[in-house]
Chains A and B, each alone.
Chain A
Amino acid sequence: MRRIARDLAERALEAAPPGDGALAHVESERSLMLRFARSQPTQSTSVTDARVELAVVCDGHVGRASTNAQDEEALAACGRRAAEAAEAAARAGGPGPYPGLPTTSSPAAHDGHDPETARLDPARGGAALEAAVSAAADRGVEAHGTWTVGEVEHAVASSAGVLAAERVTDAFMKVVCIAPQGRSGYASGATVAVGDLDPPRLAARAAELAAAPGEPAVLEAGEHPVVFEPAAVGELLELLGRCAFNGLLHAEGQGALAGRLGTLVAAPAINLSDSPRYGSTLPRSFDAEGMPKGPLALIQDGVAHAVVHDTASGALAGGRSTGHASAPGGDPVGPVPSNMVMVGGGAADAAELALPIERGLYVTRLWYGNVVRADEALVTAVTRDGTFLIEDGQITRPATDMRLTDGALGILASVQALGSRPELVSDGELYGRRYARGSVCPPLRCGSVRFTGPAG
Chain B
Amino acid sequence: MRTRRERVAVRDGAVEALDRGEDEGVGVRVRVGGAWGFAATRESTSAGAEAALQRALEVARSQPASAGAELAPEPPARGEHAGPCLENPFAVSLEDKLALLGAADEALRAQPGLAVARAELSALEVHTEFASTEGGLYSQRLTECGAGLVATAVGEDGAQVRSWPASHAGSVAQAGFEHVRSLDLAGTAPRVAEEVVALLTAPDCPAGPQTLILAGEQLGLQLHESVGHAVELDRVLGREASYAGTSFVATDEIGSLRYGSPLMNVTADATSPGGLGSFRWDDEGVEGQALPIVREGVLRGFLSSRETASEIGLARSGGCMRADGFARQPLVRMTNVNLEPGDAGTLEDLIADTPNGVLLDTNRSWSIDSRRLQFQFGAEAAWEIRDGRLGRLLRNPSYAGLTPRFWGSLDALCSASEWQLASVVNCGKGEPGQLARVSHGSAPARFRGVEMGVA
Bind each other:
yes
Q: Which positions 146-194 of chain A face chain B at CB distance < 8 Å?
A: 146, 148, 174-176, 178, 184
Count residues on chain B whose CB falls below 8 Å from chain A CBs: 84
A93-B15, A372-B455, A434-B432 are known contacts. Are A178 and B66 too (CB-CB below 8 A)? no
Contact residues in A for B435 (Cβ distance below 8 Å): 431-432
B433 within 8 A of A: yes
Contact A384 B432 (CB under 8 A): no
Docked Cα-Cα span, A380 to B398, in Å, equals: 12
Contact residues in B for A103 (Cβ distance below 8 Å): none
Contact residues in B for A258 (Cβ distance below 8 Å): 154
The residue that B67 contacts in the complex, of A40, A65, A455, with Cβ under 8 A, is A40
Contact B373 A403 (CB under 8 A): no
The residue that A332 contacts in the complex, of B9, B241, B376, with Cβ under 8 A, is B9
B42 within 8 A of A: yes
Contact B63 A49 (CB under 8 A): no
B400 within 8 A of A: yes
Contact B62 A123 (CB under 8 A): yes
B82 within 8 A of A: no
Q: Which positions 55-102 of chain B face chain A at CB distance < 8 Å?
A: 55-56, 58-60, 62-64, 66-68, 93-95, 98-99, 102
A374 within 8 A of B: yes
Contact residues in B for A129 (Cβ distance below 8 Å): 63-64
Contact B64 A41 (CB under 8 A): yes
Contact B62 A126 (CB under 8 A): yes
**What is the CB-to-nearest-CB distance from B240 to chain A, in angstroms, rounded to a whole number?**
7
Contact A65 B40 (CB under 8 A): no
- How would residues 101 to 144 of chain B score, 1 for a CB under 8 Å from any chain A CB and 0 otherwise? 01000000000000110000000000000000000000000000
Docked Cα-Cα span, A381 to B67, in Å, equals: 36
**What is the CB-to-nearest-CB distance from A403 to chain B, in angstroms, rounded to a whole number?**
6
Which residue of chain B lies nearest to A253 when distances are taken between CB atoms in the complex? B154
B35 within 8 A of A: yes
A38 within 8 A of B: yes
Which residue of chain B lies nearest to A252 when distances are taken between CB atoms in the complex? B116
Contact residues in A for B396 (Cβ distance below 8 Å): 373
Contact B367 A380 (CB under 8 A): yes
Contact residues in A for B56 (Cβ distance below 8 Å): 46
Most chain B CB within a 10 A radius of its CB, from A62, A142, A176, A456? A456
Known: A45-B38, A403-B376. 16 other contacts (CB 8 A): A33-B432, A37-B242, A49-B40, A49-B41, A63-B20, A68-B25, A85-B19, A88-B94, A93-B13, A93-B15, A125-B63, A373-B365, A373-B396, A375-B158, A403-B367, A431-B434
B-binding residues in A (CB < 8 A): 31-38, 40-51, 60-69, 78, 81-82, 84-86, 88-89, 91-93, 96-97, 122-123, 125-126, 129-130, 133, 142, 144-146, 148, 174-176, 178, 184, 252-254, 258, 329, 332, 367-376, 378, 380-382, 384, 401, 403, 405, 428-432, 434, 452-456
A-binding residues in B (CB < 8 A): 9-11, 13-25, 34-43, 52, 55-56, 58-60, 62-64, 66-68, 93-95, 98-99, 102, 115-116, 152, 154, 158-159, 237-243, 245, 327-329, 364-371, 373-374, 376, 378, 396, 398, 400, 428, 431-435, 454-455
